[in-house]
Structure 1
Amino acid sequence: MRTFYTALAVLAIALGVQGAAMADDITADVLTYDGNTKVVTAKGDVVIHANQGATITGSNGEYHFEDRSAFLEGGVHYVKDQTTLYADKMYLYQDKTARGIGSVNFHDELEKRTLKGDDVMYNPDTGFGKIEGNGYLESPDGILQAPHIEGNMKQVKVVATGGVNLSSSLHNAVGYGDQAVYTRTGANGTDGKLVLTGNAWVNQNGNSFNGPELVLRDEDKVVETTGRSTIVITNTGSTGSDSGSSSSGGGSTAPQGPVTAATPIAGRPEEAGSPLEIKDSK
């Protein structure tokens, strides 16, 4: 039997008349509204049709009318336009950042981008994304796998740390490094640059490169090395084999355009640096 409190219905009507942003509707087996905190607590088969077209389902959760945020747990499924998220728990923040915790799979079909990990944050509006634990980021540029991945997909700057495995169809390459930094001046920029540092290794077109730092550029589709490096050429017909032996001083450490490795990651919300939230089961 579903229980709906009169206070909740009255509040919904009042907010609708005032034109305030709010959830379109919340359905569950049991709903409780706290007039002091303006928080609705839901138990059992929760369905939230949130503002701006998002639909979230889970076993239990709550919705905050004050800041338009929400929390759900138990087989959470989030859908908004062409964006979907599956997770054990989910937080929806005021700035529209969605955060999944536990077996997270976040897919943005419009951008052809997938984020997976133990703790994943993503905001389709700003382009900011962060993955902690078993990180996996797939985009048209390739695949990055690392314990920690953070970046802005519109700026573009992505930093992966903790031991990074990469696969790039764009460069016909696979590789590894302690850290990877990919920068580009916007989603449609042509000056993309991937820098692998620390025990870096790349195999491109059958040729092997390893050294303290390896650089791959989108335009040239070649590998540059800095420091003491080793190159093993097994495919002399591949493009960019000779260019891989160049150690080009400053050119290999400073990306073209205004985006550099030192540029702060744009769109980073306050919640990105906060510890994992813990919610007691309601």
Structure 2
Amino acid sequence: MKTFYTALMLAAVSLGAMGTAMADDITADVLTYDGKTKVVSAKGNVVIHANEGATITGTNGEYHFEDRSAFLEGGVKYVKEQSTLTAEKMYLYKDRTARGIGSVDFVDLSEHRILRGDDVMYNAATGFGKIEGNGYLETADGTLSAPHIEGNLKQIKVVATGGVDLTSTTNNAVGYGDQAVYTRSGRDGTDGKMVLSGNAWVNQNGNTFEGPELVLRDADKVVETTGRSTITITNTKSPSEEGGEGDSQPSVPAGPVNQATPIAGRPEYAGSPLEIKDNK
């Protein structure tokens, strides 16, 4: 095993710019350092300490001191505080966004979030996340499964497309549709709103709703329909009779986040093709 340590000058620059060094050391069986590009290439049992306390392990990889980005492949595991990411490949961008490729599982215990898919991008600082292929998102509010899921988990706005299955813990409902858009003015906002469109179907408390567009509001815990719709009532009990809470609070006006609001924290490269790394 060999270890490569950053030069003292580089560490000083990191400390001044970020408050703490973002790269402590890189360990691997074989290490190659390019002084011109400031890139370390590593092969075999790679361990990178980076990104303000993160530890990344894999089979092969590289670290760029110029912009503090990294790439690893081969059974990659990323651990930082209560966040863990496992994937076949992983990119760490200079803005501290982590991106996993291939059988990705990202768990953030501090925020009670799970992101899974073929291609998962997430930045815990900004709240931006994107999942492509076999997407799954789980939060305290419920779950979304769809081919494409993108949004900001702090703002909050999440868009799922390509055929969506959902569960809503807040509304005690399950449903599906072609697209789902969930918005809320913030983590503690009370104006949460789920718009399910395109062959939409929702079952709430045993009652079913079908239509071109269905709207679930967290504050009211009701389902609204637009267009020609069908409602099948099989449960006539109130939420309080079912053992839940009654609707004692007035409806809260919609907050500033809606379907037209841009997704906050979305980096420029979020829609760009994935960078191809040559095997070293």
- TM norm structure 1: 0.90
Give the whole-Å Cα distance in 1 for the aligned partners of 2:35 and 2:42.
15
Give the whole-Å Cα distance in 1 for the aligned partners of 2:257 and 2:101.
30
Residue 255 of structure 2 aligns to a residue whose secondary structure is coil
Residue 111 of structure 2 aligns to a residue whose secondary structure is coil
Residue 110 of structure 1 aligns to a residue whose secondary structure is helix
- 1:17 deviates by 4.6
- Residues 83-232 of structure 1 aligned to structure 2 (within 5 Å): 83-232=83-232
* Residue 248 of structure 1: aligned partner: none
Q: Does 1:16 align with 2:11?
A: yes
Seen in structure 2, the aligned counterparts of structure 1 residues 22 and 185 have a Cα distance that, compared at 3 Å, is closer
* Residue 64 of structure 2: aligned partner: 64
Q: Does 266-275 or 133-142 show the bigger shift?
A: 266-275
Seen in structure 2, the aligned counterparts of structure 1 residues 100 and 25 have a Cα distance that, compared at 3 Å, is same
> Contact (CA 8 Å) 2:22, 2:52: kept in 1 or not?
no
Q: What CA deviation, in whole Å up to 9, does each residue of 1:197-224 have, x standing for no partner? A: 0000001111010000000000111100
Seen in structure 2, the aligned counterparts of structure 1 residues 3 and 55 have a Cα distance that, compared at 3 Å, is closer
Letter in 2 for 1:276: L
> Contact (CA 8 Å) 1:15, 1:22: kept in 2 or not?
no
Q: Percent identity, aligned pairs only?
A: 76
Seen in structure 2, the aligned counterparts of structure 1 residues 29 and 153 have a Cα distance that, compared at 3 Å, is same
* Residue 277 of structure 1: aligned partner: 275
- 1:19 deviates by 5.0
Q: What CA deviation, in whole Å up to 9, does each residue of 1:162-217 have, x standing for no partner? A: 00000112211110010000000000000000000000000111101000000000
Task: Identify unmatched segments of 5+ residues in structure 2.
Answer: 16-20, 241-252
Seen in structure 2, the aligned counterparts of structure 1 residues 158 and 50 have a Cα distance that, compared at 3 Å, is same
Q: What CA deviation, in whole Å up to 9, does each residue of 1:138-175 have, x standing for no partner? A: 00010000000000000000000000000112211110
Letter in 1 for 2:275: E
* Residue 260 of structure 1: aligned partner: 258
Seen in structure 2, the aligned counterparts of structure 1 residues 26 and 114 have a Cα distance that, compared at 3 Å, is same
Task: Identify unmatched segments of 5+ residues in structure 1.
Answer: 241-254
* Residue 251 of structure 1: aligned partner: none
> Contact (CA 8 Å) 1:205, 1:238: kept in 2 or not?
no
Give the whole-Å Cα distance in 2 for the aligned partners of 1:239 and 1:215.
18
RMSD of aligned Cα (Å)? 1.5
- TM norm structure 2: 0.90
> Contact (CA 8 Å) 1:24, 1:51: kept in 2 or not?
no
Residue 174 of structure 2 aligns to a residue whose secondary structure is strand
The list of structure 1 runs, each at least 4 consecutive aligned residues, that deviate by more than 2 angstroms after superposition, is 11-14, 16-22
- 1:280 deviates by 2.1
- 1:13 deviates by 3.0
> Contact (CA 8 Å) 1:70, 1:93: kept in 2 or not?
yes
Give the whole-Å Cα distance in 1 for the aligned partners of 2:265 and 2:190.
22
Give the whole-Å Cα distance in 2 for the aligned partners of 1:17 and 1:260.
44
